[in-house]
Amino acid sequence: MLTTGGAITAALRFLVNVGSDAYLYDVQERARAEFLLRKRGAYLWTLAPHWFRLGDDTVTLDADNGFGTMPADFGSFGEQGQVYLNGQQLQYLQPDQLLGLVATSGATGVPIHYTLHTRANGRSIIYVYPVNTAQTVLLLRGYKKRVPDFIDYPVATPTVAVGTAGLLTGAYTYRVTFGAQAGIGLPESEVGTVSASVSPSTEKVELTDIPVAVNQNVTARNLYRTEAGGEQHKFLVSILDNVTTTYSDNIEDGDLGPDAPTGLNAITGMEQFPEDFHEMLIVEALAADLNPEKAFDWDRWEKKARRLWSDQKQGQNVVQVMPRYGQGSGGGFSRSRLRSVIG
């Protein structure tokens, strides 16, 4: 299974198959490829059958304030969306109605109503009334999933330098991921290129030129760092925007978090598509988009896409071997055997 970054690299390899790999990691060329992939991927998404674009997920509500962050691909409930808590379907109320309930009825008990809001960064949240006395999990059924974000990994690296007195001693390197939300385990690319090594001695490390994504869907970046002398990059901190380019690292090794995501567990948008689509449709189309002077049969590509979407529901994305009733020199049925079969 390919990530968005893997698909972009594969498509660029179609165009360059000799010499240095430097072309594959050219920031401007990858930005162009990422734009074209989003365009082609969005079109492929529109060809998907309705049932495929419906999602089920769970949302954990904070016990203190009764809201939870919606899934990253949550676009709109549409007419099919349903919310359940403990097997019971919730009732939607307008925000002003919820505010009225909060003002007059307190904020305890089993949640029985909900409403939707959109944060300033464009991400949806859900409020439930009344606030429960313990953590609550909602089941979302049949919401309309939006077009995936398609997030490439960063190929630029942060610049690292020894800073003022601090807690770090040893040799360290850093890597960065791009994400649609901030935090561990939320949608983010695989880690980018490894930075240069830096060796503080009871000092801080100053990071500058932290990569910024050209993709407007990127709203956060995660920094990962090795332990002293190590090779495995572990979670260091989330940067909650796509603007900041500096960070002062003074985090001890023991306070680092989980390992950085790889191509196997990164969430970049490509995983929304069946794996059969990755090379057969997406990489093939992206390579053609990157090289428009070369002839490409787009009608054939679209017919193949529609057929593969149709096959998804039938479970037919497996090569079928048909039995042969006799074989002539040219393959297939022999004329005499065909007559005996059909009478």
> What band does 327 get if pLDDT is binned at 50, 70 and 90?
very low
136-145 and 74-76 as β-strands: parallel, antiparallel, unpaired? Answer: antiparallel
Contact yes or no for 336/342 (Cβ under 8 A): no
* pTM for the model: 0.76
In contact, 268 and 177? CB cutoff 8 Å? no
Summarize the confidence of residues 287-296 as an average pLDDT: 92
Q: What is the DSSP string of 47-100?
A: HS-GGGGEEEEEEEEPTTT-EEEPPTTEEE-TTT-EEEETTEE-EE--HHHHHH
Could you give the CA distance from residue 296 to residue 70 in angstroms, rounded to a whole number? 40
Would you place residue 322 in the very low, low, confident or very high pLDDT band (cuts 50, 70, 90)? very low
pLDDT of residue 80: 65
Which one is predicted more confidently, 227 or 58? 227
Name the band, by pLDDT with cuts 50, 70 and 90, for residue 148: confident
Reply yes or no on whether the pLDDT at 65 is more than 70: no
Task: Please report, for the chain, the start and end positions of each structural domain, with discontinuous segments joined by +.
Answer: 54-145, 153-266
Which whole number is the average pLDDT over 53-69? 74
Model confidence band, residue 323 (pLDDT cutoffs 50, 70, 90) = very low
Residue 146: band (very low, low, confident or very high) from pLDDT cuts 50, 70, 90: confident
DSSP state at residue 270: G
For residue 35, is pLDDT > 80? yes
Q: What is the pLDDT of residue 336?
A: 41
Mean per-residue pLDDT, 192-212: 97
Task: Report, as an integer, the average pLDDT of 51-78.
Answer: 72
Mean pLDDT of 139-143: 84
**% of residues, the chain, pLDDT over 70:** 78
Q: What is the pLDDT of residue 311?
A: 85
Distance (Å, whole) CA 260 – CA 285: 30
Contact 189, 153 (CB under 8 A): yes
Q: What is the mean pLDDT of residues 159-172?
A: 97
Q: What are phi and psi of 114, to 5 degrees?
A: -150, 160
pLDDT in tens, 94-138: 878 877 777 776 666 777 888 877 766 666 677 788 776 677 788
**Best CA proximity match to 192, nearest among 168, 218, 165:** 218
**Residue 172 near residue 102, CB atoms below 8 Å:** no
Please give the pLDDT value at position 140. Answer: 85
**Mean of pLDDT over the chain:** 83
What CA–CA distance (Å, rounded) separates 35 from 38? Answer: 5
**Whole-number Å distance between alpha carbons of 180 and 268:** 9
Structure tokens at 309: 């979407």
State how far the alpha carbon of 224 is from the alpha carbons of 141, 175, 263, 316, 329, in Å.
35, 5, 15, 41, 62
Give the model's confidence band at 293: pLDDT under 50 very low, under 70 low, under 90 confident, else very high: confident
| Cα(77)–Cα(256) distance, integer angstroms | 37
* 3-state secondary structure string across 278-342: HHHHHHHHHHHHHCCCCCCCHHHHHHHHHHHHHHHHHCCCCCCCCCCCCCCCCCCCCHHHHHHHH
Cβ atoms of 249 and 168 closer than 8 Å: yes
